[in-house]
Structure 1
Amino acid sequence: MGGKLTFISGGVRSGKSAYAEKLLVEGAATAEGRLVYIASGRAVDEEMRQRIEQHQLDRADVCWTTIEQSVDLEEVLPFIQPNDFVLWDCLTTWLANELYMEQNNTYCIHIKGCMEKKTARLYETVAAIREKASHFIIVSNEVLDEPASTYDETRKYCEWIGQLHQHIVKLADDAIEMDCGLPLYWKKEGQVAVR
């Protein structure tokens, strides 16, 4: 089955990335493993550029191998080694990037079957990283607490992120929701938490 898979979601600035980093740094120190950070963010505006810089500063004290991969997550597979402690930040950014990848002058979101192929490939990639790594953590934003959007593309995005979250949580050993810097475990080592 491979290594451990952890899914961490939460709102913007909820502490999910910092908590994921802490878990992996502690695990890697104990097992003498390599820390790998897969970054899916792209500096498309000033706010995103500043957030990326802040994440880089937050990791500066620890030796991370960083892989910039905004789309086509499967391309990281040759770089993942046994005993790696891998953080992918984040699923929601990857989804937006993939939905708006152009194919023949049309975005994937408008092409029938396009995202189905991409998500099938994603699930295979998640399984392959998990098989190689000691611990693989996937971070994602919780965007489904807001009322349903009136915009068709936003609704499609929400549908996709909901499907991705549910599928990955089924696969995960641990599922954590960050709230105000506190981890709420909804699933731990195959057990669903009762709240």
Structure 2
Amino acid sequence: MYLERFAERAEARGTKVFFAATAGEAVDYVRGVVRDRGATLVAKGKSMAAEEIGLNHALEVDGVKVVETDLGEYIVQMAGQPPSHITAPAVHLSRTEIAKLFSNVHHRSLPADPERLTDFARGFLRETFLNAGVGISGVNFGVAETGSLCLVTNEGNGRMVTSLPPVHIALMGMERLVPSFEQLGLLLPMLATSASGRA
């Protein structure tokens, strides 16, 4: 019932809703949208669903450059490693290791200074947001009564991924659906606690 309501309300607002029965169907749909748009660069926000279905790899096989825009996710992407934690994906790497990664990938010498590394990444990611043909994100919650998507971010990259590229693809599992903003208000405070392990 809520799923149908969500789809109806979202489509009334101009959103195209696609239900994938399998990971393969989801990947194929996204690949088709990216291909139809002629996109060669994708700006990607945090999405556990994308990670679970192997979306980045599938797009890269198609010749599409996928850039993770969450700073920690971008660091582990450069390192060719999986994230080590949901909210701190690169926590296992030292600032010296990160500086070496940035220096090697971007062909310039960068110091092991977190502020300088962050500033450099901010500039690089800004160019990615502005040049990406498609933005892809996960979804924290979908609200059935309005067809709204709720994304929670602490870096601001979620806002850029969803608004700067001409097309936004949001990946959402059905378990993310809530009936109304009232229920969303109950769950949002728990999201931060469950993600960080802190009250």
TM-score range normalised by the length of the shorter chain:
0.3 to 0.5
Please report the TM-score for the alignment, with normalisation by the length of structure 2: 0.33
Structure number with greater CO (CA < 8 Å, separation at least 6) is: 1
Structure with a larger share of its residues in helix? 2
Please report the TM-score for the alignment, with normalisation by the length of structure 1: 0.34
Rg (Cα) greater in structure: 2
